């Protein structure tokens, strides 16, 4: 066989292989319930939800439903839900459980990123909300896999957050003790002054943590009674926290097999 014939033969083999790969990929089954993930991430301000929720979204190809962000988005877009919610908030009231559940339901039905499951962040905040969420999932013939709570001592959390310094233009963050800038008070790259956010103070944080514990306690007890609750030590490094969360998901999804 001449060189040109051998080359043509090899090219035909490559084409056949590519066609076979494309055929197999097109027949790849949709994720089964065992491969899906439906979880709730619970934690006080500054415990690391903002770090771990995106990790969960990327690793498991699920949607991250942060209800505070979703509510603001609905209001900005002036959807029927958003208009109803804005009226309540403008009057100083709390958005109803039904509005919150319908907002999540809308995402699960219409957001293609939710087809493999979800991580809920900021909801449910009360036992009635948890019960309504159960009802909505039951209507969809779905169940929660797990509820993961990031646990950290209040005083440690306050020392973490009150030491935060931020470069406003880029969002780069530092910490006076754990990750100080090279030169006190200024950004390493631009030399601009660093600021401390107005709500990163002990008084505000103590108040927010008290509200969090009051609200979260009954919800955590509700999920503990159902055997869905898992606690993770959030004082560890983000990598160790992530390893713990992945272990919980592996155990909870394998139990459905």
Give me the architecture of the 33-255 domain, per CATH. 3-Layer(aba) Sandwich (3.40)
Would you call 140 a catalytic residue per the annotation? Answer: no
Catalytic residue among 115, 208, 224, 246: 208
Express each pLDDT in 63-99 by its tens digit.
999 888 888 888 888 988 888 888 887 887 778 888 8
CA–CA gap between residue 24 and residue 20 (Å, rounded): 6
On whether 33 is known to bind a ligand per the annotation, the reply is no
E-strand ranges in 152-194 read 164-166, 173-175
Catalytic residue among 87, 183, 197, 256: 197
Our CA angle for 164, 166, 169, nearest 5°, is 170
The helix or strand, by DSSP H or E, that contains position 41, with its residue range, turns out to be strand 37-42
The length of the chain, given as a count of residues: 257
DSSP string, 118-153: EEEES---SHHHHHHHHHHHHHTT----EEEEEE--
Shortest CA distance to 42 belongs to which of 222, 253, 216, 233? 216
Express each pLDDT in 157-166 by its tens digit.
888 888 889 8
On whether 191 is known to bind a ligand per the annotation, the reply is no
* C-alpha torsion angle, residues 158, 162, 168, 173 (rounded to 10): -70
Catalytic residue among 38, 125, 132, 160: 125
Would you call 27 a catalytic residue per the annotation? Answer: no
On whether 93 is known to bind a ligand per the annotation, the reply is yes
CA–CA gap between residue 133 and residue 128 (Å, rounded): 9
Provide mean pLDDT across the span 3-28.
Answer: 74
* C-alpha torsion angle, residues 96, 101, 102, 108 (rounded to 10): 160
Q: How many CA atoms lie within 13 A of 23 on its CB side?
A: 6
On whether 174 is known to bind a ligand per the annotation, the reply is yes
CA–CA gap between residue 121 and residue 103 (Å, rounded): 13
Indicate whether this model's pTM tops 0.85.
no
Preceding omega of 200 cis (within 30 degrees of 0)? no
Our CA angle for 151, 152, 158, nearest 5°, is 145
Confidence of residue 256 (pLDDT cuts 50, 70, 90): low
Query: In DSSP terms, which residues pair with 203 in a beta bridge?
Result: none
Would you call 208 a catalytic residue per the annotation? Answer: yes
All structural domains of the chain with their residue ranges: 33-255
Asked if residue 34 has pLDDT above 60, the reply is: no
pLDDT at 130: 95
């Amino acid at each position: 066989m001449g060189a040109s014939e051998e080359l043509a033969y090899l090219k035909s083999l490559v084409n056949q292989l590519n066609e076979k790969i494309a055929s197999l990929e097109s027949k790849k089954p949709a994720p089964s319930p065992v491969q899906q993930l439906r979880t709730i991430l619970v934690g006080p301000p500054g415990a690391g939800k903002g770090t771990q929720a995106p990790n969960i979204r990327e690793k498991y190809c699920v949607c991250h439903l942060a209800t505070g962000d979703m509510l603001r988005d609905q209001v900005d877009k002036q959807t029927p839900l958003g208009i109803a919610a804005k009226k309540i908030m403008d009057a100083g009231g709390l958005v109803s459980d039904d509005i919150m559940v319908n907002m999540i339901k809308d995402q699960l039905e219409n957001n293609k990123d939710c087809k493999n499951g979800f991580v809920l962040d900021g909801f449910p905040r009360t036992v009635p909300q948890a019960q309504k969420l159960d009802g909505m999932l039951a209507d969809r013939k779905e169940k929660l896999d797990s509820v993961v709570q990031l646990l950290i001592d209040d005083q440690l959390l306050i020392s973490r957050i009150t030491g935060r310094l931020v470069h406003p233009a880029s969002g780069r963050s530092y910490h006076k003790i754990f990750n100080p800038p090279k030169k006190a008070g200024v950004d390493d790259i631009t030399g601009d002054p660093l600021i401390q956010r107005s709500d990163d103070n002990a008084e505000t944080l103590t108040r927010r943590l008290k509200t969090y514990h009051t609200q979260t306690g009954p919800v955590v007890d509700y999920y503990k009674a159902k055997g869905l609750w898992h606690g993770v030590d959030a004082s560890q490094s983000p990598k160790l926290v992530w390893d713990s969360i992945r272990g919980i998901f592996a155990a909870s999804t394998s139990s459905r097999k």
